[in-house]
Amino acid sequence: MTYLLLALGFLALATVVALVARHSARRSGRPAAGWRALALAACALLLLTAVFDNLMIASGLFTYADAHISGARIGLAPVEDFSYPLAAIILLPALWSLFGGRYGGHDDR
């Protein structure tokens, strides 16, 4: 199995959960996650992934077998590494919404 196939599985699962959460929020009238906050978090996580993955690969902490990656890289890091922070950005707000978290600091008590 390649890292790309594994990454696509994680992204697909995160997307399905996010769609279920969005549908559930609309039915109950709850607000969805703010797009600006998600975009800012995505930029920060992707930037941190780029910096630290490149540093760890350059220092020899780990390597990737060429047979298991797509070959596309950002610096030394394979592009597949960037799918996990992206999946987290999609999945975590969806789980927050599904399990009763509130956005925007509003208290309904």
* pLDDT 10s digits, 60-89: 998 888 888 888 999 999 999 999 999 999
Residue 77: phi, psi to the nearest 5? -85, 130
Mean pLDDT for 40-46 is 94
- The C-alpha atoms of residue 45 and residue 84 are separated, in whole angstroms, by 10
For the chain, the domains span: 3-98
DSSP class of 92 = H
Predicted confidence at residue 80, as pLDDT, reads 92
- The C-alpha atoms of residue 64 and residue 8 are separated, in whole angstroms, by 18
